[in-house]
Amino acid sequence: MASGGAQPNQPLPSKEAGLFKQVLRYHESKQYKKAIKTADQILKKFAEHGETLAMKGLCLRNLAPDSEKEKKEEAYELVRKGVKCDLKSHVCWHVYGLLYRQDREYKEAIKCYLNALRIDKENIQILRDLALLQIQMRDLQGFVDTRHQLLTLKPSNRSHWITFAVAHHMNGNHELAVQVLDQFERTLDEVPASEAYEHSEMLLYAATVLADGGKPEEALEYVEKRKDKIKDRLGLAEMQAGLLLRVGRKAEAAASYRRLLATNPNNYKIHDGLRAAMELVPTSESGGVLTDEQRASLTSLYDELQSQFPGSSACRRIPLDFKVGDAFKAAADMYLRVGLTRGVPSLYVDVRPLLADPVKRDTVRQLVESYRDTLRSTGAYPPLTGATSDSVSPESPQTLVWVLLFLARFYDRQGQLEEALAHIDEAIAHTPTCIELYVAKAKILKHAGDLEGAAHMAETSRRMDLQDRFLNSVAVKALLAAGHCSAAERTAALFTRDGEQGAYSLYDMQHMWYEVAAGRAHTARGPQGAGPALKKFMAVVQHFADIHEDQFDFHSYCVRKGTLRSYVSMLGMMDRLYGHAFYSKAAGGAIRVYLQLHDCPPGSANGTDEEALLGGMTPEERKKYKLAKKKEEREERERREREKAAAQKGGKKGNAAATKREPDPDPDGAKLAATPDPLGEASKLVEMLVRHAGERLASHLLAAEVALRKGRLVVAVGAVRKAAQVAEGGAAHPDVHVLVLRLALAGGWLNGRMGTGWTG
């Protein structure tokens, strides 16, 4: 054959065919440089051999970092050339699909795999790759078809049976899923000991599928027949108890829940199940509240459980939810005394849900205030509620500190900030070494609007225990709230790995709370903080994209390990991923910054506009503004110098993570802030929020803001209507009301298109 490969579709000679097999082996072992060199040897003689071109492009892409667009494009050009040279090669199309899959272009990858399957319909590897992409993209019907084809081609493979059942389950065909698993079980003569756990999980999964399909009786019968083969005895007991409750066998369910309580009396889900089995929960007939008979039965039940499990905190805490009047006061009195005497810092958080009831709130306040008064005067608690004797034993002096802390947090919650500060100051004066007091005071000062004081107090608590990561986080949040972004980053970096730049480590560890708080702090700086704010907010958005991408590895891993119930639960979580609160906070923050960039483009805050801004200030305000600006510039210079020094230090030490990390091409988000179409970027995020977090008011408010700026009044009207539907108070909600007025001013539609009877 002439040099240049005049006949690219012809098979390679034996020598070059052997070299091509080496290319495949090198690729499988991730020796990409050797694979490229070997491919070049083939291409010297056969420059248009499609499969070799495609494999070289794939190896080149694996070597190219995501940031190097030129090498990525070169890899795509090689693969495209390979496909053109050999359109009938399933290898070329498969490689093309692998390239797209690596860059998360799943739809394009699926098209390539389908083209490969038209040429080689029974290629198991391509079918497996296609199935993974289909479940990743939630193409459920396609996933069922592909898994059926795999099972038909290789029915001896256990994973093909299981994944085919999972495919039917995900597609809503619960009966078919169980039938597939039953058929597979019948093919097994005996389950090997090494696969006993995986088989047990498969049986529990089959019962879960039946229950999900609305057949709890069949699910119960299924596990009863196979309970000897199920290794997870606790999981089996919990499933049986839940199924007995669903089918109405409440006496048996109650007995099962009681046995489970003996294993873990602090499991609140078991307590919920026991009360439901004993019909001691509110019903629609009773108006959603407990009847007197139910309260009496619950009291008797928990008196019994407290004597049976004296060490269980749940058995003492749960009665506070259903008891009322004097019974509640007596139970709360006992519960609060135990927690305060032991010095439980989380006691207030534990009882906080009770404070939603005004009567219980007043009772708790009166009890704890009485503790305070008697501990101050006598050093002991007052006599117990309902006690026949007045004798009380003296308490430790430290008990008064916890009482004062409880009251400070209580008053803070009620908005009585002066009383809260007085109590926390008294507690600090009593025991200045108690760290929890300083954390509580920082929160109170924050609620009082003294952000600088809150930051100082949080920093004080952090310095009292430099090894406590929680205290470090509290201090970082307080510093960010006060606008000290550089100081907050330095403080957060104290718990990152040595030799790495703090911001990079925080990004790698996906510290979303920090990035959201930092983004808000930068946003408060005005136009000059737009870039850093976008950098932080979009980092969180990227975290969610990475989390969504990470599920790809579990499609095969969970099946291989037999954790089918966890796998299906993970798929459901991924379907709800973008509805998470952190995503809403970050996306909402980024949208607001983009709106600011649209309203006030970069540069408009400088020059004459800044002079105009300064001209409207008093001399004292101008002085503060200039000092703050100089401080920000100085902190920014110091941050850059520290990052440079950290990078050099990491390089000298040979720190692998520091030396391999590529420099961030946009460390301050300047490129993000310089987008020519901020409304377009905001629209992308708004679309995700409305689709995945439509139950949140902020999603529709932001959608309306973007639509108003784009002049799309009809879309804005729809967003405002949806906002009114989810808002507390409907169209009377202040934010919704403001948008209605803005719509009226923008289009004059309030009495025209929207009608005089606007109700949202």
Torsion on CA atoms 586, 588, 592, 594, rounded to nearest 10: 70
pLDDT for residue 354 is more than 90: yes
Residue from 211, 215, 312, 220 nearest 260 by CA: 312
479 Cβ neighbours under 8 A, 6+ residues apart = 455, 458, 459, 485, 487, 488, 491
Mean pLDDT of 547-569: 93
Strand partners, 120: none
Mean pLDDT of 197-203: 93
Torsion on CA atoms 415, 416, 422, 424, rounded to nearest 10: -40
pLDDT tens digits along 475-487: 999 999 999 998 9
pLDDT for residue 154 is more than 50: yes
CA 253/CA 279 separation, integer angstroms: 11
pLDDT tens digits along 92-147: 999 999 999 998 999 999 999 999 999 999 999 999 999 999 999 999 999 999 99
**Contact (Cβ atoms closer than 8 angstroms) between residue 439 and residue 474:** yes
Any idea which residue has 């690729």 for tokens? 27
Please report the pLDDT score of residue 640 as a whole number.
Answer: 66
- Domain assignment of residue 80, yes or no: yes
Please report the pLDDT score of residue 5 as a whole number.
Answer: 40
pTM score of the predicted model: 0.86
CA 327/CA 296 separation, integer angstroms: 11
> pLDDT band at residue 658, thresholds of 50, 70 and 90?
very low
Continuous H helices in 576-712:
581-599, 607-615, 619-653, 656-660, 670-673, 678-692, 697-709
- Domain assignment of residue 105, yes or no: yes
pLDDT tens digits along 496-534: 875 455 567 888 889 999 999 999 999 998 888 999 999
Q: The domain containing residue 172 runs over which residues?
A: 14-224
Alpha-carbon distance values, 305 to 63, 202, 277, 334, 381 (Å): 63, 35, 16, 16, 27
What mean pLDDT, rounded, does the chain reach? 89
Rg (the chain; Cα; Å): 33
Any idea which residue has 């590895």 for tokens? 553
**Contact (Cβ atoms closer than 8 angstroms) between residue 684 and residue 533:** no
Alpha-carbon distance values, 327 to 58, 340, 386, 457 (Å): 73, 20, 10, 40
CA 91/CA 177 separation, integer angstroms: 33
Q: Which amino acid is at 651?
A: G
- Domain assignment of residue 491, yes or no: no
The residue among 690 and 638 whose pLDDT is bigger is 690
pLDDT for residue 456 is more than 60: yes
With H, G, I as helix, E, B as strand and everything else as coil, classify residue 380.
strand
- Domain assignment of residue 147, yes or no: yes
Q: Residue 78 is part of a domain; what is its CATH number?
A: 1.25.40.1040
**DSSP letter at 748?**
S
pLDDT tens digits along 664-677: 778 888 899 999 99
Residue from 578, 584, 595 nearest 678 by CA: 595
With H, G, I as helix, E, B as strand and everything else as coil, classify residue 571.
helix
* Summary count for the chain: helices (H), strands (E): 41, 0
Domain count for the chain: 1
Q: Which amino acid is at 147?
A: R
The neighbour count for residue 579, using CB atoms within 10 Å, is: 17
Please report the pLDDT score of residue 665 as a whole number.
Answer: 79
**Contact (Cβ atoms closer than 8 angstroms) between residue 612 and residue 600:** no
- Domain assignment of residue 561, yes or no: no
- Domain assignment of residue 384, yes or no: no
Please report the pLDDT score of residue 655 as a whole number.
Answer: 47
751 Cβ neighbours under 8 A, 6+ residues apart = none
Most confident of 73-77, 287-291, 500-504: 73-77
Task: Answer positive or negative: Cα dihedral of 354, 358, 360, 366.
Answer: positive
CA 586/CA 582 separation, integer angstroms: 6
> pLDDT band at residue 69, thresholds of 50, 70 and 90?
confident
CA 577/CA 419 separation, integer angstroms: 42
- Domain assignment of residue 68, yes or no: yes
Q: Is 393 exposed, middle or buried (0-12, 13-18, 19+ CB in 10 A)?
A: exposed
709 Cβ neighbours under 8 A, 6+ residues apart = 595, 598, 599, 679
- Domain assignment of residue 370, yes or no: no
Q: Which amino acid is at 233?
A: R
Please report the pLDDT score of residue 636 as a whole number.
Answer: 66
Alpha-carbon distance values, 561 to 41, 129, 162, 195, 196 (Å): 42, 19, 11, 10, 12
CA 329/CA 364 separation, integer angstroms: 8
101 Cβ neighbours under 8 A, 6+ residues apart = 109, 129, 133
Please report the pLDDT score of residue 136 as a whole number.
Answer: 95
Please report the pLDDT score of residue 23 as a whole number.
Answer: 93
Residue from 490, 375, 370, 382 nearest 426 by CA: 375
Q: Which two tokens stand for residue 317?
A: 């805490």
**Contact (Cβ atoms closer than 8 angstroms) between residue 675 and residue 597:** yes
Please report the pLDDT score of residue 70 as a whole number.
Answer: 81
Q: Which amino acid is at 292?
A: D
CA 510/CA 539 separation, integer angstroms: 8
CA 75/CA 669 separation, integer angstroms: 29
Any idea which residue has 């934010």 for tokens? 735
**Contact (Cβ atoms closer than 8 angstroms) between residue 333 and residue 363:** no
H-run or E-run covering 488: helix 485-492
The residue among 751 and 690 whose pLDDT is bigger is 690
Please report the pLDDT score of residue 205 as a whole number.
Answer: 96
CA 319/CA 323 separation, integer angstroms: 6
Q: Which two tokens stand for residue 563?
A: 């954790």
Kindly report the CA angle at 577 between 572 and 583, in degrees rounded to 5? 165
pLDDT for residue 638 is more than 90: no
Task: Answer positive or negative: Cα dihedral of 579, 581, 583, 587.
Answer: positive
Please report the pLDDT score of residue 754 as a whole number.
Answer: 46
Task: Answer positive or negative: Cα dihedral of 588, 592, 598, 603.
Answer: negative
448 Cβ neighbours under 8 A, 6+ residues apart = 417, 421
Any idea which residue has 């939630």 for tokens? 138
**Contact (Cβ atoms closer than 8 angstroms) between residue 44 and residue 37:** no
Q: List, as one string, the DSSP characters of 257-326.
A: HHHHHHH-TT-HHHHHHHHHHTT-S--TTTTTS--HHHHHHHHHHHHHHHHH-TT-HHHHHTHHHH--HH
Q: Which amino acid is at 611?
A: E
**Contact (Cβ atoms closer than 8 angstroms) between residue 83 and residue 102:** no
Alpha-carbon distance values, 647 to 135, 501, 507, 553 (Å): 41, 7, 16, 32
Strand partners, 380: 394
Please report the pLDDT score of residue 389 as a whole number.
Answer: 59
